[in-house]
């Protein structure tokens, strides 16, 4: 399989690059790590929005579930005497991330099921609503084990800094690998069929309901893992890190990169995160630029800046290009 080679190359490169990581200025390294997290989030959202043609505005909600779950796990383990470095640290962090992903996947199932009867704008609002509900619950819930307060409501929750360069980019490589292989497999054509023409797909015997739910569950799982990485790259997380504006940030990346184009989305994640970093001194202009980009893009080039048609030709090794949706 070609893509296994791709994954292998990616893994070797990441491991190689991780030796260089300590040499980079810690601030810049932090931003690079953030880019890696955004890649995981955007590629997983692309499975829902780009490949399956649903429109979710609630990715930050799944991210929040993963972030808080994994942070609870690592905090619990470390307060119970487990060493959070070396081998045990690696294993506990892995377990924490998987737990975060699984719980987020459960949340994805919860969103996916009512969303079956909705499409387009309704789905967008419902997912946005879920995002806000999750945030409000986290803000209000009182979660204590043996008197220790986890979650911390609106004040925030301090998290061990465990996310490193290698973790983030290995996860990103796995997310890209899984999503690409999933949609390019025989089975995964079902996702594209749901996007391209739901009625025709149904007539051909594709169980559109199941595919939509699966897209939500898989996308939410990776968003949860990404959220776990995000939580452990910050010293403190608050519910305000996961408002729907964060979801919109991810959505903008997916739209700009080209819905249904993994390469485009990865590039857009890098470009937009760097751009917002450059606009740091004038944050008020950042969102204005984002919004104008969105409007102009939709009027002139709705398939996204780097649609698969341009890049697919450029990078032949990136398997068969997936044609952008017309509806």
Partner 1 sequence: MQILQQLVNGISLGAIYALIALGYTMIYGVLRFINFAHGDVFMVGSYVGYYAATYWVSHFFPVGSLESTVLVFLISMSVCAALGASIEFLAYRPLRSRPKLTVLITAIGVSLFLEYTGQLFFGPNPRGFPPIISNKAVIHSSSITINMIQVVVITVSLGLMLLLRVIVMRTKIGTAMRAVSFNQQAASLMGINISRVITFTFIIGSALAGAGGVLYGTMYPSIEPLMGILPGLKAFVAAVLGGIGNIPGAALGGMIIGLVETFVSGTGASTYRDAIAFGILIAILVFKPSGLLGKREIEKV
The binding site for partner 1 (CB under 8 A) comprises 53, 55, 114, 117-118, 120-122, 124-126, 128-130, 132-133, 136-137, 139-140, 199, 248, 251, 255, 284-288, 290-295, 298-299, 302, 325-327
Q: Closer to partner 1 by CB, 55 or 216: give it.
A: 55
Q: Closer to partner 1 by CB, 84 or 297: give it.
A: 297
Residue-wise burial string across 25-39, b where 16 or more C-beta atoms lie within 10 A, e elsewhere: eeeebebbbbbbbbb
Q: Closer to partner 1 by CB, 97 or 306: give it.
A: 306
Helices (H), 141-261: 165-184, 189-196, 198-203, 208-233, 244-257
Query: How far apart are CB 290 and partner 1 at their closest, in Å?
Result: 6
Q: Closer to partner 1 by CB, 91 or 136: give it.
A: 136
Q: Closer to partner 1 by CB, 33 or 272: give it.
A: 272
Rounded to whole angstroms, how far apart are CA atoms 46 and 56? 10
Query: How far apart are CB 297 and partner 1 at their closest, in Å?
Result: 8
Query: Which residues make beta-bridge pairs with 254?
Result: none
Angle at 153 between CA 59 and CA 96, to 5 degrees: 55
Query: How far apart are CB 136 and partner 1 at their closest, in Å?
Result: 4
Rounded to whole angstroms, how far apart are CA atoms 241 and 151? 13
245: Cα within 13 Å, side-chain hemisphere: 7
Q: Closer to partner 1 by CB, 124 or 192: give it.
A: 124
Query: How far apart are CB 148 and partner 1 at their closest, in Å?
Result: 22
Query: How far apart are CB 301 and partner 1 at their closest, in Å?
Result: 10
Asked if residues 227 and 104 have their Cβ atoms less than 8 Å apart, the reply is yes
Query: How far apart are CB 114 and partner 1 at their closest, in Å?
Result: 5
Rounded to whole angstroms, how far apart are CA atoms 57 and 125? 7
For tokens 């390294």, name the residue: 29
């Amino acid at each position: 399989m070609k893509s296994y080679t791709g994954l292998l190359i990616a893994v070797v490169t990441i491991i190689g690059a991780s030796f260089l990581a300590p040499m980079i200025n810690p601030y810049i390294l932090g931003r690079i790590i953030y880019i890696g997290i955004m890649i995981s989030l955007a590629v997983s959202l692309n499975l829902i929005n780009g490949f399956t043609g649903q429109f979710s505005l609630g990715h930050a909600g799944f991210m929040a579930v993963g972030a808080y779950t994994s942070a609870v796990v690592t905090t619990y383990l470390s307060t119970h005497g487990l060493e959070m470095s070396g081998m045990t640290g690696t294993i506990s962090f892995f377990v924490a991330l998987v737990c975060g992903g699984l719980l987020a996947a459960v949340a994805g199932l919860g969103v996916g099921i009512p969303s079956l009867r909705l499409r387009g704008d309704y789905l967008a609002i419902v997912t946005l609503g879920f995002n806000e509900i999750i945030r409000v619950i986290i803000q209000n819930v009182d979660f204590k084990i043996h008197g220790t307060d986890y979650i911390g409501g609106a004040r925030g929750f301090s998290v061990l800094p465990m996310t490193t360069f290698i973790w983030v980019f290995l996860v990103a490589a796995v997310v890209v690998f899984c999503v690409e292989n999933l949609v390019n497999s025989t089975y995964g054509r079902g996702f594209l069929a749901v996007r391209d023409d739901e009625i025709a797909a149904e007539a051909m015997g594709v169980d559109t309901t199941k595919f939509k739910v699966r897209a939500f569950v898989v996308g939410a799982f990776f968003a949860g893992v990404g959220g776990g990485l995000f939580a452990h790259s910050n010293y403190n997380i608050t519910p305000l890190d996961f408002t729907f504006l964060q979801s919109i940030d991810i959505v903008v990346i997916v739209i700009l990169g080209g819905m249904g184009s993994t390469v485009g989305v990865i590039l857009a994640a890098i470009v937009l995160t760097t751009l917002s970093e450059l606009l740091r001194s004038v944050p008020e202009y950042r969102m204005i630029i984002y919004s104008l980009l969105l409007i102009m893009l939709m009027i002139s080039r709705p398939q996204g800046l780097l649609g698969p048609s341009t890049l697919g030709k450029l990078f032949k090794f990136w398997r068969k290009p997936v044609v952008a949706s017309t509806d």
